[in-house]
């Protein structure tokens, strides 16, 4: 939402490049008949999705084990949630991952919290934990962030933790969030952006370490603040707060060949409203 998005709570969406997983080559037989370009593209896309779901199980479990250690933005994010008042409201956790924050939000008194993620492995982990907790007001669904399975004006708040740096096109999911939010509803989310003078690096993959001594390597797309802020504006969401937050758990993987061209990876906390 990255499979773990792994950047926080969510996963890579269909419709975006599958960046968070190892890419396996699609084997072909020497005796195989030449396939049309259209078929080859279809087969490659299907193989990528197949590989993603296999690999995500391993990555999802490792990420879930370590996730409780990545708390850099929690205090600030939940202070904002408390200000906009969660109690009695219906909330969407967009890219819920293993459900960690879904449960935390439910404990703040929300009327209902729906967690969605594109990763079957993450939803499986979340539902297993839900069964252990027996909380009636929490629901987990496998869903695509580019095409939410909800009617218009369905939620009071959309929460998203480290998800948007997995979308190649950030406008589409924000348009969906606008659609499902009630009027005057809020979006509160965290995501990573980067400062770089090489504009060709934007929307390309960058490997990041989450954690210090005990870490997991995940892959984001390099996003610019300008792109994301423009996407909020085009989607119709008014940005009320957009600030960088110190994140000591995040660093660029040393083997990344363009490491010297990326001046800084930034963690952003954003509050926006459907006016």
pLDDT by residue (tens digit) across 10-29? Answer: 543 443 332 332 222 222 23
Residue 258, judged by CB atoms within 10 A of its CB (0-12, 13-18, 19+), counts as: middle
Q: Where are the alpha helices (DSSP H) in 36-193?
A: 37-66, 74-84, 100-107, 120-133, 171-180
Alpha carbons within 13 angstroms on the beta-carbon side of residue 20 total 38
Averaged confidence pLDDT in the chain: 81
- Cβ within 8 Å of residue 86, ≥6 positions away: 105, 108, 109, 110, 157
User: SS3 of 10, please?
Assistant: coil
Give the predicted TM-score (pTM) of the model: 0.79
Please give the pLDDT value at position 214.
80
pLDDT (tens digit per residue) in 182-239: 999 999 999 999 999 999 999 999 999 988 878 888 889 999 999 999 999 999 999 9
**CATH match of 67-274 with 3.40.50.1580:** no
Domain positions in the chain are 67-274
For residue range 54-103, list pLDDT tens digits in order: 345 565 555 556 556 566 788 999 999 999 999 999 999 999 999 999 99
- Which two structure tokens, joined as six digits, stand for 270? 């954003």
């Amino acid at each position: 939402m990255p499979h773990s998005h792994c950047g926080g709570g969510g996963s890579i969406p269909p419709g975006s490049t599958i960046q968070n997983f190892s890419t396996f080559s699609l084997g072909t037989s020497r005796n195989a008949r030449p396939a049309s370009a259209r078929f080859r593209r279809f087969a490659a896309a299907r193989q990528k999705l197949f590989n993603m779901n296999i690999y995500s199980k391993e990555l999802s479990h490792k990420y879930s084990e370590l996730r409780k250690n990545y708390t850099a933005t929690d205090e600030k994010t939940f202070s904002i949630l408390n200000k906009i008042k969660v109690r009695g409201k219906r909330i969407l956790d967009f890219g819920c991952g293993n459900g960690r924050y879904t449960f935390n939000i439910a404990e703040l008194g929300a009327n209902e919290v729906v967690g969605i993620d594109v990763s079957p492995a993450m939803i499986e982990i979340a539902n297993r934990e839900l069964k252990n907790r027996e909380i009636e007001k929490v629901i987990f669904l496998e869903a695509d962030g580019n095409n939410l399975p909800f009617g218009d004006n369905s939620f009071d708040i959309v929460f998203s933790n480290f998800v948007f740096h997995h979308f190649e096109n950030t406008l589409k999911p924000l348009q969906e969030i606008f659609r499902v939010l009630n009027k005057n509803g809020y979006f509160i989310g965290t995501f990573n952006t980067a400062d770089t003078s090489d504009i060709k690096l934007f929307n390309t993959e960058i490997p990041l370490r989450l954690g210090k001594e005990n870490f997991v390597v995940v892959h984001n797309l390099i996003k610019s603040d300008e792109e994301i802020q423009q996407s909020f504006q085009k989607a119709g969401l008014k940005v009320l707060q957009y600030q960088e937050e110190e994140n000591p758990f995040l660093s660029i993987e040393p083997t990344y060949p363009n490491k010297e061209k990326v001046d800084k990876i930034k963690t952003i906390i954003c509050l926006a409203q459907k006016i």
